[in-house]
Structure 1
C-alpha cells in the first residue's frame, strides 16, 4: 500500500509556497489597508467623537478592496446607500413601529429604492443594512444612524487619501499579469511545436487545457490597469507615469488577442494531429520561434530584461518571421495546416503590437497572401540585418 505521507507533505509544501507568493504580491495592499483602517477609526473616534465608529474602518476596507478602477464610485455608493437607508429607516419605522414585518418592509423598500437609483449592489445593500440598523439597534431619530452615515463618509475619504499618500505602482500589477500571459503563450506554443514534430496528441491536449484557463488572468490584467489609472488620478506622486500607463493600456488588446490566437492554434493543432496529418518543418520552426519571443517578452515585463535593449531585437526577429509566413510553407497541406499558418501570422502581428508597433505597421511586416492586399507590405521582402 503506497505511503500517503510524501504526497501530503508535497501538498503542504505547495500550499505554503503559494501562500508565501500571495503574501509577496499583496504585502503593499495589506500595508495600505492596515494604515487606512487605523486612520479611519482614529478620525471617527478622536476627531468626530464617535464612541464606537466600527463602520469607518469597515468602509475603508471596502473601498481599498475594490479593483478595476472603481474606488471613487464605491466611496460614493457607501455614503449614498447609508444615507438612503438611515433616512428611510427613520421615516418608515417611526410611522409603523419596529418588529418582524416592519423590518421586512423597511429593508425591501430600501433595497428597491437603492436598486432604482443605481445598478450598484453595494449601494442597495448598504441601504438595506442601514435600515436594519435603524429598525433594531438605533431607534428612529437617534444619533447612531447619522454617525454611521458620517463614518461611511470618513472611511471612504480616508481610503482615498491613503491611496494618494501611499500609492502602489500603477504599472507593477499590470506588467506582472502581462508577463504571466506571455509566459503561458510561450509554454503553449513550445509544447505545440514539439508535439507537432513528434505527433504526441496528449501534449497538445495538455497545452490546450492550459491556455483555456487564461480568462481570469486577462480579467486581472484589465482590472490592474484600470486600478493603475485611478491611482494616477488620486496621487500626484504618480503623475509622471501617465505616459507609461497609457502605453500599458494600449497593449492590453494585443495581449488578449495573442492568447486567443494561441488558443485557436492549439485547438487546430489538436485536430490536425488527431487526423494524422502534418505541417511543414518550416511551420514548426516558426511556432517555436514565436514561443521564444513570447518568453523574452515575459522576461521583459517581469523587469528582468532592459526594454530599450531587448525590444528592437524582438521586433527584428518578428519582422524576419513575417517574411517567412507565406502560403508556400503550407502548400499542398490540409485545411488545419492552413489555419495554423493563419494563426501564426496573427500572433506575429499581436506580438509586434505588444512591442510597440501600430496594427497597420505590424500587418505590413507579413508576406502578402493576396495579389491586392488591403495593407500594402512594407518590409517583408527586405534583407533584414541582425
Structure 2
C-alpha cells in the first residue's frame, strides 16, 4: 500500500504547523482592535508625559496604559481608578519606605508587606492590592529614590490610565460582536447535545448520551466568556460616542444572558436524566422525542442567527421561531409523559424549561414565556395562553 505524505511523520508535522499558523492568524485577526488600542495608548501616554509634563525616564505612563487596555470583562473605568490608586500607593510608599529602610532582602519583604496592608486597608480591590505591591517592587529595584521624582511617577500612572480610557472611547471594539459569538457557540453546543441525546434516547444508547453529556459539561468557559464579553460591550456602549446608538441592542444582549446560561444548564440536566432512562432500559414517549428534536432545531437556528449577525434575517426568523416554540409549549403537557417513569417526567420538565428559556432569548418576558406552556396544575401561578 502506498504511503501518502499526509500519513508520514513529516506530514503530521506539516499539519501541526499549518494548524498553528491558521489559529495564530485567526487570533491576530480577532485581536486587531486591542492591538491598535494598546499601541496608541502607549505611544500617546508616553508623548503626553514627555512633551506636556517634561518628565524623563517615562515608564509608568505606557505601562499603566497597556495594563488598562489589557483588562477584560468590562468595568475598565472602575479598574482604571483601582490601577491608579494602586500604582500611586505603591510608588509613593516605595519612595518613602526605600528611603527609610534602604534596600536588601529583609527590607524588600517588609516594604511589600506594608504596601499590601495599606492597599487592603484603603480598598478591597484585588487590583489595588496587586499594583501597590508591584509599584513598591519597581521603586525598590528598577527606579530607586533619586532617579526620578515620586510625584512624577504617580502622575505618569494617572496619565497612562486616563489615556487608555480616552483611547477605548475613541477606538472602541464592537460592543456586540464578542457576546453574540459566544451566544452562538453556547446555543450551538446545546443544540448538538440535545440532538445527540434525542437520537440516543430513542435507541436506548446510554454510551452516546454519556458522550453528549461530557460535551455539555465542558461549556463553563463559554459561559464565562459570554459574561466577560457582555460586560465589555456594555462598557463600550457607555463610554464611546461611536457606539451610543447600540445601547438598546447591548441592553437586549445583557437581558438574555441568564436565559442562555439556563438553556445550557437545563440541557445538561435533561441529558443526565436521559442517561438514567437509557441505563435503566426505560423509555419516553414518541411525542417527547419529537419535542426534544424540534427544540434542538430551534436552538441550532438561533445559534446561526447570532453567529451571522444579520439583523434583517433575524427580524424575519425570530417571529417564526417564537411561533414554533409556542406550539411546542402547547404540546408539552403532562399527558406527554403520562404513565412513564419519574425520569421521563423530569425530562419533560426540562423540555418545558428549555421552551421558556428559548422564548426569552427570542424576546419574550419570563411570565409571557411561562404562559405558553400547557398547564400541569389546576391553579398555575401564570395563567396559560388560550391555545386553539
**Normalising by structure 2, what TM-score?**
0.92
Q: For residue 331 of structure 2, give the secondary structure of its aligned residue in structure 1.
A: coil
Instruction: Return closer, same or farther for 1:344/1:27 CA change in 2, 3 Å cut-off.
Output: same
Q: How does 1:2-21 map to 2 (within 5 A)?
A: 3-21=8-26
Instruction: Give the structure 2 partner of residue 71 of structure 1.
Output: 76
Residues 59 and 78 in structure 1, CA contact (< 8 A), matched pair in contact too: yes
- Pairing partner for 1:366 from 370, 373, 380: 373
1:100 Cα offset (Å)? 2.5
How many aligned residue pairs are there? 381
- Pairing partner for 1:148 from 153, 157, 160: 153
Residues 89 and 119 in structure 2, CA contact (< 8 A), matched pair in contact too: yes
Unaligned runs of at least 5 residues, structure 2: none
Q: Distance in 2 between matches of 1:310 and 1:100?
A: 67
**Normalising by structure 1, what TM-score?**
0.93
Q: Distance in 1 between matches of 2:294 and 2:22?
A: 32
1:304 Cα offset (Å)? 5.4
The alignment status of 1:85 with 2:90, answered yes or no, reads yes
Q: Distance in 2 between matches of 1:303 and 1:170?
A: 15
Mean alpha-carbon deviation: is it higher for 248-257 or for 16-25?
Answer: 16-25
Q: For residue 143 of structure 1, give the secondary structure of its aligned residue in structure 2.
A: coil
Instruction: Give the structure 2 partner of residue 135 of structure 1.
Output: 140
Instruction: Return closer, same or farther for 1:259/1:137 CA change in 2, 3 Å cut-off.
Output: closer
- Pairing partner for 2:226 from 216, 221, 226: 221
1:115-166 superposed Cα distances (whole Å, 9 cap, x missing partner) = 2222223212222222233334444465343332222111111111111111
Residues 277 and 343 in structure 2, CA contact (< 8 A), matched pair in contact too: yes
Q: How does 1:81-230 map to 2 (within 5 A)?
A: 81-140=86-145, 143-230=148-235
Instruction: Return closer, same or farther for 1:203/1:304 CA change in 2, 3 Å cut-off.
Output: farther
1:244-303 superposed Cα distances (whole Å, 9 cap, x missing partner) = 111111111111110000000011111111111111111111111011100111111123
1:60 Cα offset (Å)? 1.3
Residues 134 and 145 in structure 1, CA contact (< 8 A), matched pair in contact too: no
1:7 Cα offset (Å)? 4.4
Instruction: Give the structure 1 partner of residue 246 of structure 2.
Output: 241
Instruction: Give the structure 2 partner of residue 314 of structure 1.
Output: 321
Instruction: Give the structure 2 partner of residue 43 of structure 1.
Output: 48
Residues 168 and 231 in structure 1, CA contact (< 8 A), matched pair in contact too: yes
Instruction: Give the structure 1 partner of residue 307 of structure 2.
Output: 302
1:318 Cα offset (Å)? 0.3
1:10 Cα offset (Å)? 4.0
Unaligned runs of at least 5 residues, structure 1: none
Mean alpha-carbon deviation: is it higher for 72-81 or for 170-179?
Answer: 72-81
Q: Supply the RMSD in Å over aligned alpha carbons.
A: 2.0
Q: Distance in 2 between matches of 1:261 and 1:89?
A: 52
